[in-house]
Each structure stands twice: as C-alpha cells, then as structure tokens.
Amino acid sequence: MAVTRFAPSPTGYLHIGGLRTSLYSYLWARKTGGEFRLRIEDTDLARNSEEAMKAIINAFDWVGLNYDGEVFYQSQRTDIYKQYIDKLLENGNAYKCYMSKEELDALRAAQEAAKQNPRYDGTWRPEEGKILPQIPEGVEPVIRIKAPTTGTIEFEDGVKGFMKFDANQVDDFVIARSNGMPTYNFVVAIDDALMEMTDVIRGDDHLSNTPKQIVVYNALGFKVPKFYHVPMINNPEGKKLSKRDGAMDVMDYKNQGYLPEALLNFLVRLGWSNGDQEIFSMEEMLELFDPSNINKSASAYNAEKLLWLNSEYIKAVSNDRLIKELKFFDLDLSHHPKRTELLDLAKQRAQTLVELKKSITDIIDVPTSYEEAGVKKFVKEDTKEFLEKYLVLLEENKDNLYDALKVEEITKPFINENGLKFPQLFQPIRLALTGGTQAPSVYDIIAILGFNEVSSRLNEALKRNFKNT
C-alpha cells in the first residue's frame, strides 16, 4: 500500500510537469489501495500567492485527481518544525552558526577563485577538542545540520536505479534561517516522514536535494521512503519546455477547450507506456501503471498528439457531457431542438471544445458577413439563377428536409440535371448559410436548419449579392 503526495509551491501556476507528477503519484496510490495527499509548500512567505494557491486546488478539481484528507499547508506547521530543530540541537546533530553574510560571501568568493565547489567550511561546527569563535554581537544565528564528512549517501531510485553520492558533496546546510523559518529540504523531509510517505515521485530536478533530505531522515531516525525521480518534459527540440511550447497554467488548457481526460491521457504517456497503446481510460491507467516502468530519458511534448487525443475524447464522450462543457464557453444547447444533430455533426471535426463551439455557432448563428475569398472564388454570374431554382426544389420538399439523406436524395439529381459540379452549388450555399466555406456537409446543415431558415439565409445572401456592405 503506497502513500504518495504532490507538494507544489504556491509561487506560480500549476504547469503540466507538476500535473504529470501528481498523476503518477495518484495512480500509484490508488492502484495499491493507499493514499494520495496534497501538501502546499508555502514557507517562502515573500513569494507565496493566494491566487496561485487557489489555482492549484482548482486545477486538481478540474482534472479529478481527488486527494485524501485535508490539504496540508507547511506555513501552518512551523511549531512542528521547531520541535524537530530543537531535537537536533539537543542531540548534537545540528548547531547554531553565527557566520555573517559578508563572511559567507567572502568564503564563497575564495572557493570559486580556487576553482572549488562553494560549501560551508564548518567554522561553527562543534567537534571534540575544537574551540569555537566568540559569538559576535548583533548576529542572529542560522541552524545548520551536521552532515556526514566521510562515506557515501546511497539510495535505490525507482527510475534511475542505484544512486551514490560522496558525503562531502553535502555540506552542513542551513535547516532554519536566522528569523527561525525552516528551509525547504528540512521541512520536506519532516513532512514526508510524519505523513508516512512510502513513495516520493517527483521531477529529477529534485535529485540533488535527495542526499540532503536523507541526512535529515538519518539524523532524526526516520525511515527513508522510496524515491522515483522522473525525467523532465522537453520541447520537440529537446530543450527546456517553455510557455510557448505548452508549459502553461493547467487551467489554460481548460480555457483552450481541452477535456481533462485527454490531458491526463496525454501526460501519462509522456514518460510511461504500455506497448503501442495511445488511449487510456482512467481505469486502464490504474490497472497498468507502475512507476518502476517510467522511462529513464526525458520525453518530448507533442502538441499535435494532444490535439488528436482531445479530438478522440470529444467524439467519445456523451452529448450530455458536451452540452455541459460548452456552457463554460457561453454556449447553452440544453433546449435547442437540434442539439443532438448539431453535436453529432460538429464533434466529428473538432479538436477542441473551442472549435466545437465555433462549428456549432457557424451553423446556428445567422451570418453577418461572407468570406470574401470564398465569394470571389465561388459566386459567379449564374450562381443566383441556380440557387433560386434550388430554393424552389427545397420548398417543394420542405416536409422531407429533416434528414440529411433526404436532402441528398433530391440534391444529387438537381446537380446532374443542371450540369453543375458539387462545389458550384455547395460552396455558395455554405457561404449563404454560415458565412464561410469550411462548414460541414451542406446536407447536414440544411437538415438542422430546416426550410424556413435556409430560405431566409439564401434569400438574404442573394439580395445582398453576397456583399458585406
């Protein structure tokens, strides 16, 4: 039974890399019958954003990754952290350091000049037989943990395999600032231990933090969890993903018309696979996912793949669900008499809900203008004549125009009898009915609108001679 967590910092929006990490953590917890927790790491008071915090919660609600229990906020747990800082001070595994900022800057500069890795030199580290400097006046100390000075720090990573760090790569890092506020690596280790995390799944940008956190675990006698460090999501060129490439707020995907199931399906495949399978229901993800099978190499963001997946989900979900989703985009089809026909038609071509809305409104909204390029290409001197004749045919059959096949039955002979090619008739009709030339089948549009509306729009276009002024 796995206990996992997602622990974002509310200093900005939740991006897709974070959502992928949370999805992996969620799937593993649910698959094993364990628990998935949400923890907000908000100890950086200067950079925290209430808006970002709400956006993270909203994103989780939208994609449906339900977490167990309450949301943990690190800013509300400072008393707990202080208890463990005091414990480390008491057992000699941490100490007060009075080195000033100027001294630290000078030390760093000297080390860099000597081409050494910058690290704390242990000036205030208590050791047997060592005489510490006199405590300076007016300097509030930081608290540093005693890191091992010899040996190695080792752990088995579920993605990367056996990891080994020389102990001297970890210095006596600060676990509490001079104002008493604990630092990131300290509170993460405390919280993961107290929340009984068994598995920590996170981006491999945290790999360098892991030895420091293991130092905290060992100093307090905590059990070290299993770590899985997931490679980053790169852009198609193999570089860091930018906002332009797709590293935007998760809720921007909602605003752009993506279904949450499609986004989760897309993300689960960015670093994990099950043969050549591309489309996964949540049930299939829960059945098949195992973090041990996460790819060791970085994945590439593919915007076309996401659009394709989204189009497949739009076609697959119920019309009732689409009606509900379209309300977010200010389109309410709840009471439209042709809502089923509209959705069945439009969802075959739409890659996003935004496109779905446009396809529908292109049909149901009376056009106020006509695509000039289309008019120039398809409206000729004889267009008016055969459109008027076609209107007569439609009126004669107006009681049978409820079905696209019926419209087709009367239209094909009309085209042949008048020596027309399909675009000669259909493109002017599309222009008259929708204002453009990219709408779906004319047969379907006529069946949805009915004779009276078709007649009204065709007559208006002919009266204006398809002109916009």
For strands 142-145 and 174-176, give the pairing. Answer: antiparallel
Q: Tell me, what amino acid is at 149? A: T
Q: Of 54, 223, 240, 243, which one is the catalytic site residue?
A: 243
Please name the residue that has the structure tokens 């364990």. Answer: 34
CA atoms within 13 A on the CB side of 285: 24
Maximum pairwise Cα distance, the chain: 109
Q: Are 446 and 386 in contact (CB under 8 A)?
A: no
Q: Would you state the structure tokens that stand for residue 34, as one six-digit string? A: 């364990």
Going 392 to 398 to 401 to 405, the CA torsion angle's sign is negative
Q: What's the CA angle centered on 319, arms 441 and 60, to 5 degrees?
A: 125
Active site residue 412: no
Tokens of 339: 């809502």
Quote the CA–CA distance of 272 and 289 in Å, as a whole number: 8
Edge-first strand listing for the sheet containing 142-145: 94-97, 142-145, 174-176
Cα torsion at 85, 86, 92, 97 (round to 10°)?
Answer: 70
Is 412 annotated in some ligand binding site? no
Beta bridge partners of residue 240, listed in sequence order: 234
Instruction: Write out the catalytic residue numbers.
Output: 243
Q: Which amino acids are annotated as binding site for ATP, given as ranges? A: 243
Q: Which amino acids are annotated as binding site, given as ranges? A: 243
